[in-house]
Chain A
């Protein structure tokens, strides 16, 4: 399956962009479960997912996949700080989603999210806590 076929099967996507020796495809309304099923079908390997805060209070999410040595990056945005989990489709997402939940409190629907790097009593979202001047309300200083 080539890149254009992947783009067409995902529907309503902009054109692929090549930069920093990788391919990038962006859609704020990306159906991540459909993307995961398609990529698993092509034999791609989930490399990781990058979450970054955006000004609107949401998170820009990049799903990085390796397809026969090519790095494909699917960019989307969380909806009310959540996206559906792809861990049932692609087991490699299990720890990745748990880590993002620990760091940013992004929720992944359809699964439990036990802490991975935080201890059990710590609330998720440690990278969102404001360490500079006061602690998160009800959380740690």
Chain B
């Protein structure tokens, strides 16, 4: 006998709305319907009714976790349209803040994953780490969530005390290496909930357009920081962690190793960052034309298309977030899974519903 269970719109793991309706035979999932319409705000439409500077503040609010990478990508697209060169120091500052944002996002995700698995101690370690990172971002920018760091042509604030960033980065790297990786990799509870669960093959990941850690856990190697470098990524060394098993565990492993690499990038950027200006002129003319920009957000490739008709208001802003393309793969991961594995599978792609429906 089959039965249908509506999970949501309140999420089984995250405090964002989404509805996952699963149809089961016994405890085995036979079909899944996803509904992601609960956060639609028409951000693209709104961005086409504000000038370029106002649109920065708007796109920063697409997401409450990866807000900085939205403004970075939007500014990159506008800078390409306007033919602007960003000062070198600003490129390093952008790299540092966007990597700290990735660390914050991954720490949040790791904590939620631990909670979903019923591992409260691990949850608390992750959230203590996240608190440390949010305090650091507040020290740099004055804000814990929407940092307001990016402007067209550079950044809005310089780094006052690089040593605080360096010290925190080392502490984060040590916690991830000494505590998070061993706990996630070896703990019996974690392995029981993750290994062999929610598999996504490499072929499925490519066909459905998956990106970021979700794709790299299934054997795809693309990382926009490596294939189309922006900010200062061409000048720092880092590894792109890739796993091939395509299960929840692989997605855990990829993100944890990415955290170590993010710390390496931050520390290199601090070492290399030259003195100099942090932005260009305050007001720029954007000629008619169109441009695209891509960044590697915490959840994968973030895509912006911006078109200009020569006025101070963009004529078209298209935003494609990583969760928008990763979320449909959840259905494939859940088919034939045990009902009890639905929450960790869902959490394993680190879904952001604000980003999906915008």
How far is A22 from B224 in the complex, measured between Cα atoms in Å?
Answer: 13
B206 touches A20 (CB 8 A): no
Nearest CB in chain B to that of A52: its residue: B316
**Residues of chain B from 33 to 85 with CB closer than 8 A to chain A in the complex:** 36-37, 40, 42, 44-45, 77, 80-81
With contact pairs A43-B206, A52-B316, A92-B208 given, residues A20 and B42 touching in the complex (Cβ less than 8 Å): no
B358 to chain A: which residues have CB within 8 Å? Answer: 117
B222 to chain A: which residues have CB within 8 Å? Answer: 45, 66, 69
Option from A47, A64, A127 in Cβ contact (under 8 Å) with B44: A127
B37 touches A22 (CB 8 A): no
A116 touches B37 (CB 8 A): yes
Option from A50, A95, A115 in Cβ contact (under 8 Å) with B305: A50
Option from A19, A40, A48, A126 in Cβ contact (under 8 Å) with B42: A126
* Distance to closest chain A CB from B87 (angstroms): 19
B357 to chain A: which residues have CB within 8 Å? Answer: 116-117
**Residues of chain A from 65 to 103 with CB closer than 8 A to chain B in the complex:** 66, 68-69, 71, 73, 90-92, 94-95, 99, 103
B325 to chain A: which residues have CB within 8 Å? Answer: 48, 92, 95
With contact pairs A46-B209, A69-B228, A92-B209 given, residues A117 and B301 touching in the complex (Cβ less than 8 Å): no
B320 touches A48 (CB 8 A): yes
B37 touches A47 (CB 8 A): no
Query: Is B291's CB within 8 Å of the partner chain A?
Result: yes
A117 to chain B: which residues have CB within 8 Å? Answer: 36-37, 40, 357-358
B206 to chain A: which residues have CB within 8 Å? Answer: 43, 45
Option from B40, B80, B303, B328 in Cβ contact (under 8 Å) with A95: B328
* Distance to closest chain B CB from A51 (angstroms): 8
How far is A19 from B305 in the complex, measured between Cα atoms in Å?
Answer: 13
Query: Is B324's CB within 8 Å of the partner chain A?
Result: yes
A20 touches B290 (CB 8 A): yes
* Distance to closest chain B CB from A76 (angstroms): 15
How far is A21 from B83 in the complex, measured between Cα atoms in Å?
Answer: 12
* Distance to closest chain B CB from A52 (angstroms): 5
**Residues of chain B from 64 to 115 with CB closer than 8 A to chain A in the complex:** 77, 80-81
The 8 sampled A-B contact pairs (Cβ below 8 Å) are: A21-B292, A22-B292, A47-B303, A52-B315, A71-B228, A115-B37, A116-B36, A117-B36
Known: A21-B228, A66-B301. 6 other contacts (CB 8 A): A45-B211, A48-B318, A52-B316, A71-B292, A92-B328, A118-B37
The 5 closest A-B pairs by CB, nearest first: A69-B227, A92-B209, A20-B291, A48-B320, A117-B40
